[in-house]
Structure 1
């Protein structure tokens, strides 16, 4: 018999349409892998945290690896979709567009730091095929930043002489928020997001409205 399940924190990658047992397993995988690392987490650890048998895990997911792949895949799907939506609503001003996508990127990493941490630290644990899928989606996210910064530079709103490098810098900095942000820390998520929006604009050489 599995151990009584611990109280699992909700996971951003659980869907309302997920079967309850599958949802519990996904949330348990996020919690245990974020705490112990992928290789330090056993299938039994995940099943125990979810309050189900090891056999139940295999009924829903082919392996521990498949759970990790799903977590990373869903996380990037959500991030890309939210970023695309933000761009559609942001209008044409380059500064507004950069603020919008930085807001989404930082917001997602503060709202789901465990999932984000897994995405950053455990990509190497995926098989080549699964890793290629995730990397492709990560590249889609990066290209949105590349286009926004390049467009701003072409229009004279951003003065950076190296827009590609600046865009990479911004994404890397925003992603790294997940490594240090704590909901009970001195800075709230909105304050962190606002700070990073201004840091991003400084990084691309925005001189302000003219």
Structure 2
């Protein structure tokens, strides 16, 4: 879990969780909830806080969401759907070798968490705030993302391309490290996203014991 003092603050672009097909008011409320949850945390935020940030009445909010908890579920659910979909697309377009496939997954995971820092913070810090059924849903989608990494690392180990003696732990380590980008990356910092992705691709290949030169893949 991230501590509140590590929560990304300050102005941010509109969240990518809003779909073009969403009702305009629905999208405005969802965008406001991301900003307010990111700043105050789930338990420190009231429905009125979100409504005020969205410029709507609490009644209007309830016309689109059953509760504050419902908003949190939508944020986490859509965030993971976006991540899983982007990762599947990356694998589909990547070359079939394990190195290319791992780099494709790492690049997607890092980019997503570098761009959606607030959404990532909410997803990691507020999982505990979900109901049992909602938590099970979100965990199942996290597991889907993790299994993509697991398969690629395991396949690379079987082919002798990766030499790690513990592909499961190595895969989990890579995913955890890539996710943590959201806790420290800043768009106005001294490293751009492209350079960040390249560094994490190389570090991840080293973690799984790639026997070649990562820059040659």
TM-score class, shorter-chain normalisation, is over 0.9
Determine which of 100, 119, 122 is the counterpart of 1:118: 122
Q: Render the CA deviation track for 1:153-201: whole Å, top value 9, x for unaligned.
A: 0000000000000000000000011111111111111111111111100
CA distance in 1, matches of 2:189, 2:56: 34
- Select the residue among 116, 127, 132 that pairs with 2:131: 127
Where does residue 102 of structure 2 map in the other structure? Answer: 98
Alignment of 1:70-109 (within 5 A): 70-109=74-113
TM norm structure 2: 0.91
Match for residue 148 of structure 1 among 152, 156, 165: 152
1:68 maps onto 2:72 in alignment: yes
Of 199, 202, 214, the residue aligned with 1:198 is 202
The DSSP-based 3-state class of the residue aligned with 1:75 is helix
Q: CA deviation at 1:8?
A: 7.1
How far did residue 41 of structure 1 move? 0.8
Relative to structure 1, the CA distance from residue 103 to residue 25 in structure 2 (aligned partners, 3 Å threshold; closer, same or farther) is same
Say which is worse superposed, 16-25 or 182-191, in terms of deviation.
Answer: 182-191
Instruction: Show structure 2 runs of 5+ residues with no match.
Output: 1-10
Root-mean-square deviation (CA, aligned residues, Å) is: 1.3
Corresponding residue for residue 171 of structure 1: 175
The 1:100–1:8 alpha-carbon spacing in structure 2 relative to 1, beyond 3 Å, is closer
Where does structure 1 lack aligned partners over 5 or more consecutive residues? 1-6
Deviation readout 1:44-90 (Å, 9 max, x if unpaired): 11000000001111110000100010000000001111111111111
Q: For residue 9 of structure 1, report the CA deviation from its aligned partner.
A: 3.2
Mapped to 1, the partners of 2:22 and 2:189 lie a distance apart of: 32
* CA shift in 2, pair 1:147/1:8, >3 Å: closer
Q: 1:66 to 1:45 in 2, by over 3 A?
A: same
Shift of 1:127: 0.4
Residue among 58, 79, 85 paired with 1:54: 58
When normalised by structure 1's length, the TM-score is 0.94
Match of 1:36 among 34, 40, 45: 40
Number of equivalenced pairs: 204
